[in-house]
Amino acid sequence: MAAPRGRGLRPGGVVRALGQLLVLVTIGFGVGLLFGIVTEEPELLAGHLRGESRSVALESGEFSLESDGMSAPVAPPSRSLVPTAELIASAPLPPVAAPRTLERSIPRAAGVDTTNIPVARVTGVPESARRAARATPGWSIQVGAFSERAAATRLAEGLRERYPVEILPASTKGSRWRVRIQPVPSEARALEMAESLKRDDRLPTWVTPMEGHSGS
């Protein structure tokens, strides 16, 4: 007994069936999308059908097209910066603490032995003039006190070309070598010289009567 013959698919039947299936899926998707819009946003759809919809133009500065077709936001302009000079001028300066002694700030002269230098050589004032000055009242400006004589000598050498400088030796153990500008004829002149030393040489100053005198 021979087997029944069935109809075979034509060569283009599979492609035609797939095309019809794709059309049905597309129509179903469109109907579902339209149904969703009608149920969720009926007012938006009605306004679009009445011609009330409008297009919105974007500003040219907000987005820029790149080479790959994607848009990227443009960074907003940065705030104006305050000039550096104004920042420096407006910033408060930190307080500067005065050094306790001048011994740290005065460099030692390498290879110079100052321990045996006599006082008359350091001051640059003749001994006769110093003896005459001691006989008259006067004022003194102290510009430093050091635990070592070498440090006091270095400071005195830097001032001797402009002022009559003397080094008062340490009288007792633990006392300091004092560097003083003396004699000064009047208290007013001593105060004026002290201000100049503070301003020009950055030295701490104390105006006192010379030792052995009560002042003029």
Give a yes or no: residue 176 inside a domain.
yes
Reported as a pLDDT band with limits 50, 70 and 90, residue 215 is: very low
Task: Determine, yes or no, domain membership for 172.
Answer: yes
Number of domains within the chain: 1
Q: Above pLDDT 90, what percent of the chain?
A: 24
pLDDT confidence of 156, banded at 50, 70, 90?
very high
Average pLDDT over residues 90-99: 60
Confidence band of 18 (pLDDT split at 50, 70, 90): confident
Most distant CA pair in the chain: distance in Å? 162
CA distance 107 to 147: 15
CATH number, domain with residue 200: 3.30.70.1070
Assigned domain for 91 exists:
no
Structural domain includes residue 214: no
Q: Find which of 86-90, 150-154, 171-175 is predicted with most confidence, using mean pLDDT.
A: 150-154
Quote the pTM value: 0.36
Cα torsion angle, 63, 66, 72, 76, sign? negative
Q: Is residue 177 part of a domain?
A: yes
Which of 115, 119, 143, 141 minimizes the C-alpha distance to 130? Answer: 119
Question: 172 phi and psi, to 5 degrees?
Answer: -130, 170
Does residue 169 fall inside a structural domain? Answer: yes
In a domain? residue 193: yes
- Give me the domain span that covers residue 203: 119-209
Q: Specify the pLDDT at position 194.
A: 93
As a whole number, the mean pLDDT across the chain is 70
The answer to whether position 147 is within a domain reads yes
